[in-house]
Structure formats: C-alpha cells, structure tokens
Amino acid sequence: MVHQVFVLSLFLDVAMGCVFSLPEDRLVTVDRAPTTRDTSFIDKMKKTGKNIVVFYGSQTGTAEEFSNRLAKDAHRYGMKGMAADPEEYDLSELSRMGEIDNSLAIFCLATYGEGDPTDNAQDFYDWLQEADADFSGLKYTVFALGNKTYEHYNAMGKYVDKRLEELGAQRIFDLGMGDDDGNLEEDFVSWREQFWPAVCEHFGVEATGEESSIRQYELKVHTDLNMNKVYTGELGRLKSFENQKPPFDSKNPFLAPVTVNRKLNKGGERHLMHLELDITGSKIRYESGDHVAVYPINDTAMVNKIGELLAVDLDTVISLNNLDEESNKKHPFPCPTTYRTALTHYLDITNSPRTNVLYELAQYATPNITKE
C-alpha cells in the first residue's frame, strides 16, 4: 500500500506580493510541558540491539522514507537498523558510536532554500558547525536529496559529508547525490545497490539471502470501537476538527478558515488567487515569509472505486499497526480510522507507486500480469 500523507506547502502570491508561512517556532505560543523523552540514541540502539542508525533531514517525507528503507535493508545482512529524527535525539552522541560493534550512521539529508537544512535538521546543522567533537569512532555515509536546478544543489548533504570527515569520522561509502529534477528514486536505488556491498566488505559480512520483504504492518479490523475514538481525517490530535487546542505546530496544525477566496487574474496561463485565512484565536502571528500548509483530500468517486476494486466496506474501522514494536511510528497514518478516511485524507492515491512498492506488490500479482 502506498502510505504517504500529502502536505503541500502553498506559496501564496498575495496581493502585496508577500508570502505566508507559520514556522513551527512561531506557532508555539504556550510553553510545552517538559518532556521526559529519552534523547539518547546510543542507549536506544544498545537496548534494542541496533548497529545502524539512519538519520533523516526531511521536510516533505522523501528523505524519511529512504531512511526507513535503509533501516529495513539492514536485516538482509544480519544487521539491525533504525531510522531516527535528528530533532528527537542528542547528536553529540555520534562521538560514542564506537561503543557499538560494527556500528554505522547513515544520513539522508534534503536541502532547502539557499542551501539550508530542513527544519528537523537545523539544530544538528547549527551544532555541527561549532562542534569540537572527536568522531574517530564514527563510521558514516551520506545520501543527499536535492534538485539540480537550485543554485545550492545538495548543499546540506555535501556539507555534512565533508564536516564529519573533518571531525575525524570515517566515510565508508561515497556521498550519494539525489536529484529530484531528474529521477530521485533511481539515484537512490542505484546508490543503495552499491552501498550495501561496500558495507558488507567493510564489516566482513554477507547477505543472508533473506530477500523476501518482511511485512511491516498488520491490519486489525475493529468491530466494537467507540466512534469517538476513530480518526476522521485529523492530521494531529483526535477531534481537532471539532475543538482546536494550542500549542499549534506542524504536528498540531491550526486549521484556519478561508474567509476570502478570489481569482485575481483574468485569462492567461497562471492561476493567481487572493486568499485570506482567519487565524483569530490561534495566537499565531503572521510575518512575511511564513508558510501555509494545505491538506488536500482525494476525490470521492475515486475513493469509492478503490473500495469496489478491493471489495471492502469502506466504513470498516481499521488500524494498521507497525510490527516493529521499537519503531517510533506505531501507525503509518492516524489510527484507528476507516478505509474511507484513510483513502480520502491520508493516502496518496493518484501518484504512481514507487518502485519499491511495485516490487512488493508484484509478489501478489498473478503470473499473467506483467511483473516488470
């Protein structure tokens, strides 16, 4: 199944020519309760027997997805990997990687703006520039995600690749360059095909021959669940459609009603709109350069058609549970929910699936359907 929630950053050409956005830090208006979250990835790796950690710098999810795939790959070589959000961990611990046998850190890093890191890699980037760490026990590789048409092509990936070496870390495989303007998926797949043999050679391990993909999620059908506990399309908190509670950030977005929606141009190719969003009561301040996220929904007819093809009752309440209990993500999208809600709000049903998804689907295809 394709499971990717679509978040579009809409850059609005507003009347005055300024652009909206609501960066996370400014959205948070009330202090968060102090978290007692464990920020030690080294402890987590030791506790869960992992030797490979894959950090992702991702804004729209591509780098995150690649990281999950790399973490999953590891088991084919008798190793154990975990994907990790740099924002959730203390990355100065990279200097302690040597405490874990055959350890390796992989970085999948996207670049934005003027060669800037993604929001979730900003602290790591700031720290790295000033860092005076000894990374001699760290083995690493970097896969960069970018778009060649930008002036600062893959700047973040290139920087981290170079900087880690400066701090004494050992690069065990060459920097991968992913170009979203060409074929990012292909760039990634061909890098990965050469990367794993290099890892095997470096650590003296062999593929276990366990090519078969492991099932990642289990489907659970709920029959007696209180409908108040079922997600209806919320991206953050359950019931956030009915009552919104601050603090607002990208994980708990404030849903702003559109109060004005006017087409500005007559004729011509471009579609220029004047939109006004009501942020009353949100305690959000708008400053030029801020972002607005748009959460689109899929076409009802298409959703119904998929229900028909799959022969499921779209109003069945389900959960997709991650079988990797140590994973940070319990579900690929908010659960429990119905098939209808998932297909309408959470899944991208209009894009062609990525090659890795096709590969998995092919195993279920009847011989007559071409598996190519």
Ligand X SMILES: *[C@@H]1O[C@H](CO)[C@@H](O)[C@H](O)[C@H]1NC(C)=O
63 binds ligand FMN (CB under 6 A): yes
Only one of the segments 55-63, 257-265, 285-293, 298-306 lies at the binding site for ligand X (rule: CB under 6 A); that segment is 298-306
Q: Which does 296 bind (CB under 5 to 8 A by kind): ligand FMN, ligand X, none?
A: ligand X
Least distance to ligand X from the beta carbon of 331, Å?
18
Segment 332 to 351, residues that bind ligand FMN, using CB under 6 A: none
Least distance to ligand FMN from the beta carbon of 32, Å?
24
352 binds ligand X (CB under 6 A): no
Alpha-carbon span 143 to 174, nearest angstrom: 9
Q: How many CB atoms sit inside 10 A of residue 275's CB?
A: 18
Longest CA pairwise span in the chain (Å): 66
111 binds ligand FMN (CB under 6 A): yes
Q: Which does 149 bind (CB under 5 to 8 A by kind): ligand X, ligand FMN, none?
A: ligand X
Closer Cβ to ligand X, 100 or 361, answer by number: 361
Q: Which of 112, 140, 143, 346 binds ligand FMN (CB under 6 A)?
A: 112
Chain-centroid distance of CA 291 in Å reads 18
**Which position's Cβ is nearest ligand FMN?**
146
The backbone torsions φ and ψ at residue 44, rounded to the nearest 5 degrees and listed phi first, read -65, -40
Sequence-distant (6+) residues with CB within 8 A of 251 are 236
> Which DSSP string corresponds to 88-150?
GS-GGGGGGGGGSTT-EEEEEEE-BTTTBPPGGGHHHHHHHHH-----TT-EEEEEEEE-TTS
The backbone torsions φ and ψ at residue 219, rounded to the nearest 5 degrees and listed phi first, read -95, 125
Q: Which does 6 bind (CB under 5 to 8 A by kind): ligand X, ligand FMN, none?
A: ligand X
186 binds ligand X (CB under 6 A): no
6 binds ligand X (CB under 6 A): yes
In three-state secondary structure terms, 156 is helix
Segment 173 to 212, residues that bind ligand FMN, using CB under 6 A: 180, 184
Only one of the segments 69-77, 188-196, 285-293, 294-302 lies at the binding site for ligand X (rule: CB under 6 A); that segment is 294-302
Per-residue interface string for the shown chain with ligand X, residues 143-182, x marking contact by CB under 6 A: ----x-x------------------------------xx-
User: Does residue 64 contact residue 304 with C-beta atoms inside 8 Å?
Assistant: no
State how far the alpha carbon of 41 is from the alpha carbons of 47, 88, 91, 143, 219, in Å.
10, 9, 8, 20, 29
Least distance to ligand X from the beta carbon of 350, Å?
5
The backbone torsions φ and ψ at residue 217, rounded to the nearest 5 degrees and listed phi first, read -130, 150
Closer Cβ to ligand FMN, 69 or 96, answer by number: 69
What is the contact surface with ligand X in residues (CB under 6 A)? 6, 147, 149, 180-181, 296, 298-299, 302, 348, 350, 368
